[in-house]
Structure 1
């Protein structure tokens, strides 16, 4: 996500946190942003995020660079969702066309459930 401190990223991460509760232990959901780890920790505590693992790409932006989702001019990540199988093979990618738009949760959920 671009930044947890924005309304769309906030809603997205909270929604995935709710979805995670019903998907079982075989599903791990990560939210990755370039926010500083202390800011992420503060936000997660305030938002009650307990199912999604939040990670920072702040230091080296290696995730953004390697997965080609870094927006260099803003030093933020594009809004996208990757679904990986148990062998860490990417099986579904959703690159959201507008940064202010939430992902298609139904599409993501269908991709996840197809792998269970």
Structure 2
């Protein structure tokens, strides 16, 4: 398992770590209208999954805005941001932030995504900052577990992986 800290304190990640070459686990999260969304709903597309603890914090805000900007230039790539924020809070934040190119989804209900991708932080009931790129055949082609949750991910590497995925 990835060793991760939150504000320099070790945390426990629940679930199974996902690695490059793995079949991407399907998961169920909630859209802002409370409808269920699954990875399999976007089968046949490349997916860039940006994982943040809460869109309402500085680094998470910047990360989501960065991928919203990048999404406009990615061909046949669906960009998902997943956090445990309530769908209502996500909807309000997206409207205020002008997020239009990224689908912001909630794992609040059951941590299904967090557990299947090994990013659920046991002590905080948040998701650990991470990035996954899943190709059109549902294979993980990029996985980054950010070692310190309050740090930024490698945006350039994730975008490059998404651009190179088929």
TM norm structure 2 = 0.68
For 1:69-80, list aligned pairs within 5 A.
69-80=119-130
Q: Which secondary structure state, in structure 2, belongs to the residue aligned with residue 15 of structure 1?
A: helix
User: How far apart, in 1, do the equivalents of 2:163 and 2:73 lie?
Assistant: 11
The structure with more radius of gyration: 2
* Structure 1 ranges of 4+ moved more than 3 A: none
**In the alignment, structure 1 residue 104 sits paired with structure 2 residue 145:** no
Measured on the aligned residues, the alpha-carbon RMSD in Å equals 0.8
Query: Relative to total residues, which structure has the larger helix share, 1 or 2?
Result: 1
1:14 matches 2:71: no
Aligned to 1:64: 114
Residue 68 of structure 2 corresponds to residue 54 of structure 1: no
Measure the CA separation in 2 of the matches of 1:40 and 1:34: 9
**2:131 aligned with 1:81, yes or no?**
yes
Structure 1 residue runs of 5 or longer lacking an equivalent are none
- Corresponding residue number in structure 2 for 1:44: 94
Higher strand content, 1 or 2: 2
Matched residues, number: 115
The equivalent of 2:165 in structure 1 is: 115
Gaps of 5+ in 2: 1-51
TM-score normalised by length of structure 1: 0.96
Three-state SS of the structure 1 residue aligned to 2:77 is coil
1:32 corresponding residue in structure 2:
82
Partner of 2:5: none
